Structure 1
Amino acid sequence: MPSRHRLSSFDQIKELPGLKAHLPFLKDVPNHCLQQAAVDLDKAFKNFFKGHAAYPKARRKFQNESFRFPDPKQISFGEKGILLPKAGWVKLVLHRPFLGVVNALALSDGTVYDLPRMTEKEKRREANLARRVSRRSRGSKNRLRAQRDLRRFRARIVRRRRDAKHKMTTDVVSRCDVLYLEDLKLKNMTASAKGTVEEPGTNVAQKSGLNRAILDVSPGATRLQFEYKMRRRGGAVFYVNPARTSQRCAECGHVDPKNRIDRDRFECVRCGHAACADHNAGPGMACGSNLAGGRKQEEDGSSQVAQAA
């Protein structure tokens, strides 16, 4: 009898060049998409042998035609839509923000907090009010009136966000005796990517958008609120090293950059554990972003960790 051996996703990926030689139509598909299909198949069989799922079904035509690009460097966004390898520009419908910080806070039990963001309508309103100020003559009553309207609008946005942040931090602190915060350097994280004349930066516009998304949830203010509210309740706040926390598997502890498929998805290359990236980071000592908290232990000795962006 022929000897049996386990065929992993890595083994199947190694066979792709040979398959392309015999099946030329495979060359029309981006290589990363083919690799991710092999990863999905390997995961399906792992779940079957663990008893977590039924035997994998063969893929049928016109069903489950989704595909994945794991490397964000291969895609770009523009007014035309999204630019995909070998497919060109494709029309895009955004169901949620794709750049920056999506969740303001995520707990390990799946609870997700978010802070109110400025809508596109509000952004246009702010721009129009600022334009009115710039068009008025300096020192005129019309300019003072326009400045007053702009300040009122911005003050309303600030009050709305401050109220939501206080409610969020108060709710988390009421659940916790100890909070673990990643000691991230926000100033470095939000630094400009322009570079210098001699060495100009790359992806300046994307980095600028990411900086705005990070500052939009004001992580520094969240951190300060956690600190003084924990002191008020007699709790404690600890800082941990944030190195590789976004790459560590919560199930087996394996650390690998390939574990973090993208901003939202985490999939361990060793044990196959898959979860939302924020939720995977939550159960550990530290998290994938910049805040984490541990809940007071219940009777069964369990604990909970929060993760925030």
Structure 2
Amino acid sequence: MKADAGRKYRAYPTGDQGQVLTGWGHTARALWNVALEQRVYLWEQRRYSLRSGEQCKQLTAARTELDWIGDLPAQTGQQILRSLDHAYDNFWNPEHPARFPARKKRGHRLSIPFPGQAVEVRKLNRHWAEVRLPKLGWLRFRLSRAIGGTIRNATLSRDGNGWHISFGVHTGRKPDAPNGYATCGVDFGVAASAFVSTETTPRLMPPSLTTKEKKRLKALEQRKARQITYAKKHGGGKYGRRLRTTIAQIASLTTRRGNRRRDFTHKLTTDLAKSHGLIGIEDLRVKNMTKSAKGTTKVPGKNVRAKAGLNRSILDNTPGERRRQLEYKARMYGSVLVAVPPFHTSQTCAACGQVDPESRKGCGRLFACTRCGHEDDADHNASVEIEARTRRTGGSEINSTRSIPRVRVPATSRRRMREAPKPAHAS
């Protein structure tokens, strides 16, 4: 019986509990790094794959010899080693996009996992509940929604706004039957956060930070840079109280920005999955899209700052997270998600299928086809083209009047094709 849903709540530990959890978080991070280093060393030296079964036995012996490991609950240590197994399994799986397990830095988010058998939850009233954790006791959290299932695991984590507790819950819910709703194409962009082909206006994400918050964040980052420079010159690199306060204030603002971005993403993806039967999006490679422009102090690159600003705008709209949420929400609400090739979607006329970069001069907001004269908002035109490709890829009915896109090949490419050597079997 595995967890099929997640529940996250704001936790309110006492002062003593907060200190204990902070120590456990750093111990859990160190245990992950030590276990990973041990596996890497054994593989490089002996070509031996170490798994959590053997490491759990070694962990039991280490708990009696090392106090900093012995202070951590045994269930948490075992859960960390099992998570490392999952990380390796995902890395070895060719169908999974995970990379090799990475070491966790000190600035990494603190996380303390527990198995479901080690925790107990009791409800206090309509708005509050408590969870009993090993070696810590009862911890209060805000019951913002019902748990609604059997708890399979629990994780305590800390961000810029404080501590949170997440539960992996088994609800037993099965995916809905196909809803039979209409098909749509969605174009995720920067100027328009999302433009749906069946709508006439784009969906815009509210600013993740207000103007005052942006100015304050910039001032705090400048202050942090000055304080780090001072610490390196006069304090041997040791962070002082004021520097830690500045870092905490920056973390609070960035967490607020992430929460607002996540709230818009969840609302957008839920509405799309509930109101459409077939959803088409572009199969984007966000990593390639956000590669930084190269430039150094001695040899400055071209448009480095402009590219950095574009990268921030792309990442602020989180196209990868939107796709991830649509994948599981589409199964949940009876719809189908199709990722179509993004080749020339912004330069293809949705009316006649002509591909011409001149139809969208300067990457502006207006799309004017050079062949048929069709005019539309560039993002809406792209969403209609995505919908047309989705119908063909998704197996739905194809509009027979829709012609195959004609690609205008540049002169340089035509010359290269003429000069290319012919195959040996060609006459």
TM range, smaller chain: 0.5 to 0.7
**Shift of residue 230 of structure 1?**
0.5
**Shift of residue 197 of structure 1?**
10
Alignment of 1:114 with 2:114, yes or no, is: no
Determine the structure 2 residue equivalent to 1:283. 384
SS of 2:384's partner is: coil
Gaps of 5+ in 2: 1-188, 232-237, 397-427
TM-score (norm 1): 0.56
Which amino acid is the alignment partner of residue 324 of structure 2? L
**What does 1:62-77 correspond to in 2, within 5 Å?**
none
SS of 1:247's partner is: coil
Determine the structure 2 residue equivalent to 1:105. 194
Gaps of 5+ in 1: 1-99, 298-309
Determine the structure 2 residue equivalent to 1:268. 369
Aligned-partner Cα distance in 1 for 2:261–2:293: 27
Give 1 or 2 for the bigger CA radius of gyration. 2
Pick the aligned partner of 1:149 from 249, 270, 294. 249
Determine the structure 2 residue equivalent to 1:88. none
SS of 2:291's partner is: coil
Determine the structure 1 residue equivalent to 2:222. 131
SS of 1:111's partner is: coil
Determine the structure 2 residue equivalent to 1:175. 275
Which amino acid is the alignment partner of residue 274 of structure 1? E
Aligned-partner Cα distance in 2 for 1:243–1:215: 20
**Shift of residue 244 of structure 1?**
1.3
CA contact (8 A) 1:183 1:242 kept: yes
**Shift of residue 186 of structure 1?**
1.1
What is the percent sequence identity of the aligned residues? Answer: 41
**What does 1:18-97 correspond to in 2, within 5 Å?**
none
**Shift of residue 115 of structure 1?**
1.5
* CA distance 1:249–1:224, shift in 2 (3 Å): same
199-208 or 235-244, which moves further after superposition?
199-208
Determine the structure 1 residue equivalent to 2:358. 258
**What does 1:120-269 correspond to in 2, within 5 Å?**
120-136=211-227, 137=231, 138-194=238-294, 201-261=301-361, 262-269=363-370
Q: Which has a greater percent of strand? A: 2
What is the CA RMSD across the aligned residues, in angstroms? 3.1
1:94-135 C-alpha deviation (Å, 9 max, x unpaired): xxxxxx811110122213112222344322110122233344
1:211-269 C-alpha deviation (Å, 9 max, x unpaired): 11111111111111111110111322112111111111111111111111233110001
* CA distance 1:203–1:130, shift in 2 (3 Å): closer
**Shift of residue 174 of structure 1?**
1.5
* CA distance 1:199–1:130, shift in 2 (3 Å): closer
The structure whose RCO (Cα within 8 Å, separation 6+) is larger is 1
Which amino acid is the alignment partner of residue 206 of structure 1? A
TM-score (norm 2): 0.41
* CA distance 1:157–1:229, shift in 2 (3 Å): same
* CA distance 1:197–1:164, shift in 2 (3 Å): closer
Aligned-partner Cα distance in 2 for 1:103–1:166: 17
SS of 1:238's partner is: strand
CA contact (8 A) 1:183 1:240 kept: yes
Number of residue pairs the alignment of both structures matches: 194
CA contact (8 A) 1:245 1:286 kept: no
CA contact (8 A) 2:261 2:316 kept: no
